[in-house]
Structure 1
Amino acid sequence: MNKKNNAFLLMAVPGFILFFIFHTYPALQGIFYSFTDWKGYGNWNFVGLKNYINVFKDDRALDAYIFTFKFAIISTILVNIFSLLIAIGLNSKIKFQKTLRAVFFLPYILSILIVGFIFNFIFTHLLPTMGQNLGIEFLSKNILGDPNLAWVGIVIVAVWQAVAFNTILYLAGLVTISEDLYEAASIDGAGIWRKFWSITFPLIAPFFTINMVLAMKGFLMVFDQIVALTGGGPGKSTESISLLIYRGGFEGGQFAYQSANAVIYFIIIVVVSVIQLRFLERREGGQ
């Protein structure tokens, strides 16, 4: 038995070493540099909590946080609504059910950057051309060039691609519900909405919790869609925290400062995820 345990341990060691080198060590190094004035090159000095204090005084960082949370909240709500509706539809007895499941999952396996560049072309050239030819004023405008509408394009792309994964999770929850419950509810005269609120939603509540937490975490870390669609523009209207940290840290000579920003951001994401879990799990218990 000891030999078997040793064999398992030896197999895990290479993975642990790689994880430490490429994940844990850089993270610890970033935390260390967040207490310095290092620009990413040259010498550095300890500055204590100065970087952390300056983040809270930075208007650009505040705007990025506001945009990121607005984007994440709206996208999380939309992706869960669409995913649940699609999952319920795919779980019903319709033709080509398995084929449709595969089709709906395709967006998730595509590269986010490639999808972003494709939609960039659609929003910038295809839709405006169609709008002008059809005489539709709203479509004639490139929304990615409008500071007030550019975020809508990012939400559309992010939700379109994220729906696939969330749909699969909801489908996994729906197949655990016995048809006998729906038949009994029908005999009692329950309608579609009554069945949903009294049977479907309570029984898939754990899957709803998982989807909400994963979606929120993923959208808070939005980066690729913004790079491909707007690059943070027009101006700084669609600059997310991840993009700000990347640009300031690797292009703006603010490595230490943005490392502090990254630490704060990490703590915020963890806090938001924990609050979501506590609230939604409590709700599950109250079903």
Structure 2
Amino acid sequence: MYICPVCKKKLNKVGNSWKCANGHSFDIARKGHVNLLTTAKHNPKTAGDNAEMVKARTEFLDKGYYRPLAEKIREIVSAELQGNKTPVIIDSGCGEGFYTAELSNMKNARIYGIDISKHAVAHCMTRVNLAGIKNCEFAVASSFDLPFADKSADAVISVFAPVCNDEYHRVLKKGGKLIVVSPSPRHLFELKAAVYDKPYENSPNDYHLDRFVKENETVFEYTAELSSQKDIFDLFMMTPYFYKTSEEGISRLKALESIEVNCGFVIQVYRRK
């Protein structure tokens, strides 16, 4: 599956490294992942979410608040790939691997997760190693420069992550599926009401996917009771609001001991043209 991020030749596993015919070599980390992020476009040491943000997201997701979403995504992906005996799935912008691990429950599926954050990918490996999951591989890489061969995947999953029209089209097989998950209009509205004087609904996303045909869309919503200040703030750190909330708003948030929030998601399924 992997191609060299420098010359785009096929990578082969040789000992404890991935190597291409042109001599480019990428060492496999102790946990089992590989860093394929090119320094020409990114600084592999600082790209993506930092260690504190990844830790907060991991601890929040492991509480199970988004477990219904993970199961719903697996259900939809399984239905879309029904009849494919050995589907290859790329989780693009996989974060710390929560949704990737759920996808691994699909029988005979081969799952590849990539994220631009080395801290996130390290958490992915910890997650699958502790769970004994054998059908997932992870690499540090960008969604806009995927380290995978042309027409090598049956599906690409993007959950709250950047979407790349051309790269997803390139790596998907003919008729391959792209599943994009984004917030519904009132996702976490109660959290915004706690920190903003004038909370607003989320606007629909337009991904300009002109190389894909939209086949269907599912709105999936439920409520969740966050029962501790830590859980509330961990969730807050996962959102874009974390970067644009005033100190006054953060103080109001830190005063909350519990809150019931609407968890709302739009799950769109596209087919490669």
Superposition TM-score, scaled by structure 2 size? 0.20
Bigger radius of gyration, 1 or 2?
1
The structure in which a higher percent of residues are helix is 1
